[in-house]
A and B are shown apart, each in its own frame.
Chain A
Amino acid sequence: TQLLEQSPQFLSIQEGENLTVYCNSSSVFSSLQWYRQEPGEGPVLLVTVVTGGEVKKLKRLTFQFGDARKDSSLHITAAQPGDTGLYLCAGGRGQNFVFGPGTRLSVLP
């Protein structure tokens, strides 16, 4: 059983569309991070959210941490082919992070 669930598992959309991916858990996390990973590369940190209800914006990406600090969402506006990749969420728990299985996004030109 995964401590962190991510949905959808796969998402294929056209350039210019909007999308939201989700990261859910039954556990409370001290913080939550979002990463993007491209094939053959290491995950690259996008954002860290630490406060329940917190919203952070990074250009076309909007991240939200749930009020109860158990879930998070990532919304991308006007997706571009460069957004293609595996999006991973990771919850801070004690001394470490627990990673979700990821959402694999493909943005077609």
Chain B
Amino acid sequence: DSGVTQTPKHLITATGQRVTLRCSPRSGDLSVYWYQQSLDQGLQFLIQYYNGEERAKGNILERFSAQQFPDLHSELNLSSLELGDSALYFCASSVAPSTGGVSYEQYFGPGTRLTVT
């Protein structure tokens, strides 16, 4: 158990809908990362937050957005869903964001499996 929790574990929805995925980081971790993992794309970095502020963006679509709240939990919002958005979505946390030559270890949650039909 990494200490990172994600809900829900599974989510099935229709195209065009909007969903929200939730993540609670490990106790003491201030940085949260979101990743998408599909069979053909591997693990893709989406976005990173540190202490409530967006820190870095990766391959995140404009239809997707995220935020980190004062209690440090984070939500990933996916809208206008398409079939291709079906994937595993992982949240990871670290004590601080990696900067310069210092990389902090990330701990992953169990993921949310999203199926868009």
Chain A residue at smallest Cβ distance from B9: A40
- Can you sample 7 A-B contacts with CB below 8 Å? A31-B103, A92-B103, A94-B56, A95-B55, A95-B97, A99-B42, A99-B43
A101 within 8 A of B: yes
The answer to whether B98 touches A97 (Cβ under 8 A) is: yes
A53 CB to nearest chain B CB (Å)? 16
The answer to whether A96 touches B58 (Cβ under 8 A) is: yes
Taken residue by residue from 25 to 48, chain A's Cβ proximity to chain B (1 for < 8 Å, 0 otherwise) reads as 000001101010000111111001
Q: How far is the CA of A23 from the CA of B103 in the complex (A)?
A: 18
* Chain A: interface residue total (CB-CB under 8 A): 24
The answer to whether B42 touches A102 (Cβ under 8 A) is: yes
The answer to whether A41 touches B107 (Cβ under 8 A) is: no
Residues of A within 8 A of B35 (CB): 99
Residues of A within 8 A of B58 (CB): 96
The residues in B between 89 and 106 inclusive whose CB is less than 8 angstroms from any CB of A are 90, 92, 97-103, 105-106
Residues of B within 8 A of A31 (CB): 103
The answer to whether A45 touches B106 (Cβ under 8 A) is: yes
Task: Given A30-B101, A30-B103, A102-B42, answer yes or no on A95-B113 (Cβ-Cβ < 8 Å).
Answer: no
